[in-house]
Structure 1
Amino acid sequence: MEIPAPPRDRSSTTGGQVWAPWPDGDRLQADADSAWAIALGIVDEADVRGADRGTSHGPTALLDRLDDAAVARHRATAAEYDLIHRVLRDALDDPDPWVGPDPTLDGLWHDPRGRTPAAVRRDRLDMAERAAAAEIAVRLRIAEQTVRTRAAHAGVLRERCPGMWAAFTEGRVSERHAVETARLAATLPEDRDAWGAFDLGALDRALRLAPARFATAARVLRERVHAESIEARHGRARGNRGVWMTAELDGMATLTAFLPADRAAAAMTRLDRTARHLAAAVDETRTLAQLRADVFADLLSGAGPTVDATHTHVSTTPGTRDRATAVRTSTAAPAPGRPSVIVTIPALTLLGADDAPATLDGYGPIDLGTARRLAGDAPSWIRVLTHPVTGAPVALDRTTYRVPTALRRWLGITSPACAFPGCARPTRDCDLDHLHAWSDGGATDDDNLDPECRHHHRMRHESRWSASRDPDTGDLAWTTPLGAHVEADPPPF
């Protein structure tokens, strides 16, 4: 069929019909988006038709759709918190699916560790909750601590701040508003009047303020409704003081200290005063921020820009002349206050024949200049000979339960973190667990040993979590209490 070209004069008619242009791509996309939103129930079809009569793809309509999407996201997040809370709560109500039947119900039962029945039942509940949190974590690919934190936040909001919880589940407040409310409400004493006053005030502020401003206002509100003196609270809070390190990009890291405010302020004042003194030098080119960081590092390390008294470990393969696989460098601690670090360097990189990255124990890749400097400062090297096929250390006693030092060192290189999926605790802080129990004939070798942090070590032996190694590939895999198969994480570095 021949289709006539549209007339140039759009006001003219052909056969009594007015010609209209074909809709452009933006219009077609807007119609498709509207159909998607209607199908999901995010917007009402009548609203879309009303918008079509105006400008459905204009800024006002787009912002309206953005509002709808934000509400849907908040509601979905609240539903996730709720489901996590329910799974962990149900694990406490019925621990059998996670840890098996209660052994204390057997009339002939006795505990080899000498625990009372009440203590065993408490441990079962704790382990069931841990096992359930781990199952959620591997399914959602999030940290177990995140699972427990979200469950705790949901529980606090349900009990202490029902108004904020309802607003969260309805999508009227964001996750950040809800989390900050839960965090602060959890620190209030057992006082329902205080809970109610805080809930009412926090909800009013959350509906009007962005998260950062809300956090400040909510903290002030908490002080007003808290019945306990700040002196008593500060005394308890001091017990949580600590220092931890977070790996960052490009060979950097953040060192965080949680301290009493007066000591933190005094430390910052000293850093700033020293940095400003150094900045006055004629040839100083560093910024104040860089100077504070350098002064901070020098004061803590006590070694300035260099690291002394290092020892280097080299892993090689027997029968080869230049295929050294790794160099492991560690700084000793000859006197109190001296730091200790461990670095693994490919030997060819150390010789300048390769550019494979070095690894700082517990952190990850670092620049080769720093790694070579640490190796160059080492007064001695320890060579670890490995099997040409398996890579395991040779000449080790495989018939004893205790893990030899050389084998422990080797496992620290090949398995730098806990073997449980998602756990990043370094091997140096882990137990070396026999996959096939030594008491049942399992060997003490690298094929049968895996690093497991104490938490996951207990969970493997006291819950229905289990681990096994593929006989053909040697790959480790875990089975959850509910029967899901989870592969072990690849090495982090």
Structure 2
Amino acid sequence: MATQDRQHQLADMSADAVLSFAEDQHAARLTAERAILEAAYQWAVLHSPDALPASDRRGRERAKPAGAVGTPRITEHAAATFGARIQTSPYGAKRLIADAVDLVHRLPKLWAGVKAGQVRSSHARHVADATRELSAEEAAWVDGEVVEIADGRLAWTRFEAIVEGKVAAASPELARAKEEAAAKDNYVRVSRINKHGKATLMFHADAALILGSNAGVTAVAKGLEDQMPDATRNERRVAALALLTNPQAHVDLSVGPVKPKVEIVLHCTPDSAIARMEGHGPLTIEYVRHLVAQYASCVKVQPVIDLNQGAAVDAYEIPAKLREAVHLIHPGDTFPFAANLSRKVDLDHQIPYSEGGTTSTDNLGPMTRTHHRIKTHAGWQVRQPFPGIVIWRDPHGAHYLIDQTGTRKVTATRRDRTPPRPDRFGRDVIACDLTA
């Protein structure tokens, strides 16, 4: 049903009819999720290294168990192509395939329920992931214990809690080993997700230590009521934490509780009301002024890099200025549906340097090491017709266009497609129809 037709149909529905429509669509979504899970298992079957013809066995492609130890093996990069078709990363597809394989080989009751439409695929997948470290016998016991409640009848958090308890009961030794490992997992760090100029300090330790520290913050905050009469409770708690961690900190909020020494990279343009704090997100120019005035002890203005000029060097190594230009053109991993935004990734020569490819902005793209290996060894091809516009071709002929807005599939797979012709570097030319 076309979107416009559906909107007209919904507009004419009664309240009961809208509810019935939503219920039907929800059922269809659950059915589709089950079907995709079954397809993921079949994809694993098709990519068993033993099932591939000898001519198709890539010398550099390793095979690993698709799921838990003891499950059938699957070729290393098979998940990448499947993931692109369902608009997820190779990592996400690998997890999906692992869950499907474990359900078939280790959790038969849940798998039977999925196929019969009685178990939700999301619940079955959660059990598969939670039991991956258990033996086959232990996983089978959990399977029988939770299959009845895996139909969505429980709130998700309640279902998680039950599964967690059953997994611990199935293997007390493993549960204890995890507790001992957790006891050593203490840290204080800043979270990765920061918005509107704010950040989160994570303090991870034993519950008793956390509760004691929280009580200390509360007590100090109580003592600041006379000094900070107009502050909220949370503002006093922040000031209290600053005092406990830095006795020389100011408690006057107009000055700021702490003046730490940190480096913040801000990207600003004169005609925009928004700046970008690298690694954190957008900020208003007004907040940038506040940030600089209150906290910055040193402001360093970097020269603007002209991204319209394709910088190049006559060497394989990538200098810092060129690396910065590539990062500005491609702020994230250029593999289809990839999520990584870190600078700590590989810069790939899309046409290899050894085959005549240049070390320039129009032939470099950031990728994680996993995606880089997929591109090198698994039959994927990539071109950058313009800086910032990347086109991938998967091993089955589908094309994906990646730009700063994300990933789009731009062609349909056709079995009768004319084989691509090699370019002057001996690599296949990628052709795609952007109107497809």
TM-score by length of 1: 0.63
**Bigger Rg, structure 1 or 2:** 1
1:87 maps to amino acid? W
Q: RMSD in angstroms over aligned alpha carbons?
A: 4.3
For the pair 1:466 / 2:381, whether they are aligned, the reply is yes
Give, in angstroms, the shift of residue 153 of structure 1: 1.8
Give, in angstroms, the shift of residue 77 of structure 1: 1.3
User: What is the match of residue 86 of structure 1?
Assistant: 42
> Do the aligned partners of residues 162 and 487 (structure 1) sit closer, same or farther apart at CA in structure 2, a change above 3 Å counting?
same
Distance 1:491 1:372 in 2: 29
Instruction: Kindly report structure 1 stretches of 4+ aligned residues shifted beyond 6 Å.
Output: 61-68, 94-97, 123-128, 238-244, 253-257, 293-304, 306-309
> Do the aligned partners of residues 201 and 477 (structure 1) sit closer, same or farther apart at CA in structure 2, a change above 3 Å counting?
same
Give, in angstroms, the shift of residue 478 of structure 1: 0.8
User: What is the match of residue 359 of structure 1?
Assistant: 276
User: What is the match of residue 228 of structure 1?
Assistant: 173
Contact 1:422 1:489 in 2 (8 A): no
Give, in angstroms, the shift of residue 457 of structure 1: 1.6
2:48 maps to amino acid? L
Instruction: Report the secondary structure of 2:266's partner residue.
Output: strand
Q: Which runs of 5+ in 1 are unaligned?
A: 1-28, 34-56, 105-119, 310-337, 349-353
For the pair 1:344 / 2:302, whether they are aligned, the reply is no
Contact 1:71 1:172 in 2 (8 A): no
Give, in angstroms, the shift of residue 100 of structure 1: 7.5
For the pair 1:449 / 2:364, whether they are aligned, the reply is yes
Q: Equivalent of 2:93, from 142, 147, 158?
A: 147
User: What is the match of residue 203 of structure 1?
Assistant: 147
Instruction: Report the secondary structure of 1:390's partner residue.
Output: coil
User: What is the match of residue 324 of structure 2?
Assistant: 409
Q: Equivalent of 2:400, from 486, 489, 492?
A: 486
Give, in angstroms, the shift of residue 428 of structure 1: 1.3
Cα distance per residue 1:144-181 (max 9 Å; x no partner): 33222222222222222211222223222334432332
Instruction: Report the secondary structure of 2:361's partner residue.
Output: coil
> Do the aligned partners of residues 425 and 170 (structure 1) sit closer, same or farther apart at CA in structure 2, a change above 3 Å counting?
same
Q: Equivalent of 1:381, from 300, 303, 312?
A: 300
1:390 maps to amino acid? N
User: What is the match of residue 418 of structure 1?
Assistant: 333
Instruction: Report the secondary structure of 1:450's partner residue.
Output: strand
Contact 1:75 1:168 in 2 (8 A): no
Name the stretch that deviates more: 424-433 or 278-287: 278-287
1:479 maps to amino acid? R
User: What is the match of residue 216 of structure 2?
Assistant: 273
Distance 2:372 2:186 in 1: 27
Give, in angstroms, the shift of residue 68 of structure 1: 6.3
Instruction: Report the secondary structure of 1:228's partner residue.
Output: helix
> Do the aligned partners of residues 122 and 355 (structure 1) sit closer, same or farther apart at CA in structure 2, a change above 3 Å counting?
closer
Give, in angstroms, the shift of residue 485 of structure 1: 1.2
Cα distance per residue 1:350-374 (max 9 Å; x no partner): xxxx334211223432232343355
Q: Percent identity?
A: 24
Instruction: Report the secondary structure of 1:487's partner residue.
Output: strand
More helix by share: 1
For this pair of structures, how many residues does the alignment match?
380
> Do the aligned partners of residues 199 and 102 (structure 1) sit closer, same or farther apart at CA in structure 2, a change above 3 Å counting?
closer
Q: Equivalent of 1:390, from 282, 288, 308?
A: 308
User: What is the match of residue 368 of structure 1?
Assistant: 285
1:81 maps to amino acid? L
> Do the aligned partners of residues 63 and 459 (structure 1) sit closer, same or farther apart at CA in structure 2, a change above 3 Å counting?
closer
Distance 1:475 1:381 in 2: 31
> Do the aligned partners of residues 423 and 229 (structure 1) sit closer, same or farther apart at CA in structure 2, a change above 3 Å counting?
closer
Distance 1:241 1:355 in 2: 42
Contact 2:103 2:110 in 1 (8 A): yes
User: Using CA pairs below 8 Å that are at least 6 residues apart, which structure has the higher relative contact order?
Assistant: 1
User: What is the match of residue 103 of structure 2?
Assistant: 157
Instruction: Report the secondary structure of 1:436's partner residue.
Output: coil
Contact 1:75 1:170 in 2 (8 A): no
Cα distance per residue 1:277-303 (max 9 Å; x no partner): 315514355555666677779989999
Distance 1:308 1:409 in 2: 29
For the pair 1:213 / 2:158, whether they are aligned, the reply is yes
2:62 maps to amino acid? R
